[in-house]
Amino acid sequence: MTELAVSDPLPKPKRDLLPVLLPAILALAMLPLIGSGSSWVTLTAASLAMGMMIFIMASGLTLVFGLMDVLNFGHGAFIAVGAYIATLVLLPLAGWVQADSLLTNLAVLAPAALAAMAVSGALGLVVERVLILPVYGQHLKQILMTTGGLIVAEQTLYALWGPQIIPLPLPSALRGSFILGDVAISKYRVLAMLVGLAVFVGIQLVLNRTKIGLLIRAGVENREMVEALGYRIRRLFLGVFMTGSALAGLGGTMWALYREQVHASMGDELTVLVFIVVIIGGLGSIGGCFIGALLVAMVANYGGFLVPKLALVSNILLMVAILMWRPRGLYAVTSR
Amino acid sequence: MMMLSGDPPRSRALSILLIVIIAALAAAPFVFPGAKAMNVATKICIFAALVASYDLLLGYTGSVSFAHTMFYGIGSYAIAIALYSLGPTWTAVATGLAIGLPLAALLALCIGLFSLRVEAIFFAMITLAVASAFLVLASQLSWLTGGEDGRSFQLPELLRPGTILIPKDWFGFAVNGRTLTYYIVFVACAAMILALLRVVNSPFGRVLQAVRENRFRAEALGYRTVFHLTYANCIAALVAASAGALNALWLRYAGPDTSLSFAIMLDILLMVVIGGMGTMYGAIVGAAIFILAQNYLQALMSVASNAATEAGLPLLPGLLHPDRWLLWLGLLFIFSVYFFPAGIVGRLRAGTRPST
């Protein structure tokens, strides 16, 4: 340990860059394996778009865990509810969705996404108050309660909308691809990438540049201390939970449009995917979650292209590999 | 007392309930000879053992696993694939067990060493991920598992319904291969439950409870908690795989829906919670009540749903439809976790014991 003079600035924590570079390294390593440059660009763009969507869904889960030490096994329910609410807006306005003008299309997509976020967020409020509030600090009961919540939500969706798959066509202006030379990048993927990046940057700005973000980060570090300083951390918890649920709703809407269908069981399927991302990234870390989502999407896309059979278990293999390297995930945030 | 490992039911009402359940199960082939009733009785036996093994994890070590159906499925598929490919012989049954049980234990060992080092939450997530990958594998590798259709197979000669062991004119009821299969299931499940009771009341079981209550202190006392938890995980997996094998023998079939689906995992969770976590006896009570309700209340739901449709009520027919059985189950689950965390057994014990 070197001694510091009083006037010296505090030593900066070491930047841990290896995980950040991992997606780039993976992408470059895949280039010779895939061979053709144009398929590589298409696959990489597809992975980035898919990764951004997964990130939007997973970010809420990891924030909620980091701040509140609550793992919401019912997170998938918010995703599915968001998607269903979006169909409520999009299907009646099918004329606008099919209109061949980007402006009209966006004019209907934006309210659909906002409605999905609002309803998921409101559902988050109810879930936090009813299911999670009585069992703060008890992991076992949290897991059981939120699993029960997921089942109830999914079955309610079945009861209200029926068991059939609802087709949800993409707006016409977002169909098709941009063609640059012999590279094709689908338009919707570009939109997904933009939205994902916006969410990531937005979360980072809020966390690092605002007072609320400061309180949230402080709460992750030491909850009692923040309370002792006179802040109502309970309200902060609720706000974060609702934001996380709303983001899950947004992610669900985008995922439903990407797959062009809505089904009540999409909640459980995505829960597993989102969990893997959150574990890979390190529970509670937004940056880790972002990288984890990109990695999962890349492995799924490249793996599906190179060895289609492997794609079934590629996520698990990726998770095992990452956890062998860093047992607590890429960025271990909390000391828990 | 020896048989119960010094852990009696400790409540008169509970003892009576258990005696009734076990006596009914033991006499089931003679008292309730119908095919449906026999299926229900077998399912209660198998699930009592399966839920007891899950209780070892959830109730005694406090770790939530979502991979229990995976082990159950491994047992089922091992028997099914062995009998399907080797033909209906006892060698095939032995081969299935010799492959399935060690495979389940090995997988449990890997998952345990990998994920039990840290928090319960981590274990829950990893088991969920692994189990869902396994479900996908089982339904995709159709050359081995038969895909979504699963595998049907023939049983060895002795266990077939056509084999009459004791003709009807001797005692007034026939004992055939099916009855014999039932008793194999019954005895094997009873043995497994008694063995688990032995495990939780051994010094090893006490350490598990210590880990559940306070892992840090257990570690400070010098116990290597990771190993204890991993052993518990392996024992639970072995019992689950055996239960799965028995299930396959009874159904003469193994497929994703009967042995691997997430719905079964939920059933197991519910049975543990309703019966009472950390009691072992809760497994028997929970399985019996739950499976009886599942088989006979669903019929009631469809009656109610039809009545609601005729009355022209909105929404209710959809909510009461028998396919929405899981909805009510989920609600019941939340309520029981919230209001009766000790389950039926805990309630009965608390009711009769004045104070301790």
Distance CA A196, CA A48 (A): 9
- Find, among B4, B145, B24, the residue nearest to B73 by Cα: B145
Domain presence at residue B205: yes
Looking at the DSSP bridge assignments, the partners of residue A184 are: A179
* pLDDT given at position B75: 95
Task: Flag if A149 and B124 touch (Cβ within 8 Å).
Answer: no
Distance CA B308, CA B314 (A): 8
What span, in angstroms and rounded, lies between the C-alpha atoms of A79 and A61? 11
Contact between B208 and B228 under an 8 Å Cβ cutoff? The reply is: yes
- The pLDDT value recorded for residue B352 is 59
Spatial CB neighbours of A270, under 8 Å, sequence gap ≥ 6: A57, A76, A79, A80, A252, A255
Is B161 in CB contact (< 8 Å) with chain A? Answer: no
Q: How confident is the model over B237-270, as pLDDT tens digits?
A: 999 999 999 999 999 999 888 888 888 988 898 8
- The mean pLDDT value for B183-187 works out to 95
Do the Cβ atoms of B120 and A336 come within 8 Å? no
User: E strands, chain A, where?
Assistant: 166-167, 177-180, 183-186, 261-262
The pTM score is 0.85
B336 or B109, which is more confident: B109
The pLDDT value recorded for residue B353 is 52
Per-residue pLDDT tens for A209-267?
A: 999 988 888 887 788 888 899 988 888 889 999 999 999 999 999 999 988 889 888 88
The answer to whether position A277 is within a domain reads no
pLDDT of residue A106: 83
Q: Is residue B44 part of a domain?
A: yes
Query: Number of C-alpha atoms within 13 angstroms, CB side, residue B183?
Result: 10
For residue A94, what pLDDT is reported? 79
Say yes or no to pLDDT of B236 above 80: yes
pLDDT of the residue at A335: 47
Q: Has residue A285 been placed in a domain?
A: no
Which chain A residues touch B136 with a CB distance below 8 Å? 312-313
> pLDDT-based confidence at B35, cuts 50/70/90?
confident
Cβ <8 Å between B120 and A276 = no
List, in order, residues 6 or more apart from B308 with CB less than 8 Å away: B316, B317, B320
For A76-94, the pLDDT digits (tens) are 999 999 999 999 888 888 7
Does the residue B6 lie in any domain? Answer: no
The band of B355, judged by pLDDT with boundaries at 50, 70 and 90, is: very low
- Dist. CA B179–CA B284, nearest whole Å: 21
Q: Which parts of chain A register pLDDT below 50?
A: 335-336
Residues of chain B numbered 251-290 and touching chain A (CB < 8 Å):
262, 266, 269, 273
Domain count, chain B: 1
CA dihedral over B169, B174, B177, B180, signed as positive or negative: negative
Asked if B110 reaches chain A (Cβ–Cβ under 8 Å), the answer is: no
Residue B4 lies in a domain: no
The domain that contains B283 carries what CATH number?
1.10.3470
Q: What burial letters (b/e) apply to A97-112, b meaning 16+ CB within 10 Å?
A: bebeeeebbbebbeeb
pLDDT tier at B272, thresholds 50, 70, 90? very high
What radius of gyration do chain A's Cα atoms show? Answer: 21
Task: Write the DSSP symbol of residue A135.
Answer: G
Q: How many residues does chain A have?
A: 336
Lowest-confidence pick of A77-81, A251-255, B116-120, B231-235 = B116-120
CB within 8 Å of chain A, chain B residues 115-134: 117-122, 124-126, 128-130, 132-133
Q: To the nearest 10°, report the CA torsion of B306, B308, B311, B313.
A: -140
Q: Decide if A159 and B62 are in contact by the 8 Å CB cutoff.
A: no
Nearest CB to B327; choose among A143, A144, A156:
A156
Chain A residues in contact with B126 (beta carbon < 8 A): 279, 319
Strands B151-152 and A177-180: unpaired
Position B176 scores a pLDDT of 85
B3 part of a folded domain: no
Query: What is the Cα–Cα distance from A182 to A17, expressed in whole angstroms?
Result: 34
Percent of chain B's residues with pLDDT above 90: 44
CA–CA distance from B47 to each of B15, B53, B101, B132, B271 (Å)? 20, 10, 18, 21, 9
Does any domain span residue B184? Answer: yes
| Single-letter code of the amino acid located at B31 | V
Q: Is A182 helix (H, G, I), strand (E, B) or coil?
A: coil
* Structure confidence at residue B1 as a pLDDT band (50, 70, 90): low
Domain hosting B176: range is 12-352
| Cβ contacts from A onto B, under 8 A | 104
Structure tokens belonging to residue B99: 């492959």
Provide DSSP, B18-41.
HHHHHHHHHTHHHH--SHHHHHHH
Start-to-end Cα distance in chain A: 27
Q: Is residue B18 one of the residues assigned to a domain?
A: yes
- Of the CA atoms within 13 Å of residue A18, those in its CB half-sphere come to 7
The band of B103, judged by pLDDT with boundaries at 50, 70 and 90, is very high
> B188: how many CB neighbours lie within 10 A of its CB?
18
Distance from CA of B35 to the nearest CA of A (A): 31
What residue numbers bound the domain in which A208 lies?
37-148+161-262
- How far is A56 from A62, CA to CA, in rounded Å? 11
Which residues pair with residue B249 across a beta bridge?
Answer: none
Number of domains within chain A: 1
Q: Are B343 and B274 in contact (CB under 8 A)?
A: yes
Q: Report yes or no: B96 and B79 within 8 Å, Cβ to Cβ.
A: yes
Which residues of A make CB contacts under 8 Å with B?
71, 73, 131, 134-135, 139-141, 143-145, 147-152, 155-156, 158-160, 162-163, 268, 271-272, 275-276, 278-279, 283, 309, 312-313, 315-316, 319-320, 323, 327-328, 336
For residues B135-155, give the mean pLDDT: 87
* pLDDT at residue A336, as a whole number: 45
- Tens digits of residue pLDDT in B297-338: 878 888 888 888 887 777 777 777 777 888 888 888 888 888
Instruction: Output helix, strand, coil percentages for chain B, rounded to the nearest 5.
Output: 75, 5, 20
Nearest CA-CA distance, residue B85 and chain A, Å: 24
SS3 for B183-200 is HHHHHHHHHHHHHHHHHH
Q: Please give the structure tokens belonging to residue B74.
A: 């491994």
Are residues A59 and A67 in contact, defined by beta-carbon separation less than 8 angstroms? no
Whether residue A280 is contained in a domain is answered as no
- Smallest Cα distance from B120 to chain A, Å: 7
Residue B273 within a domain: yes
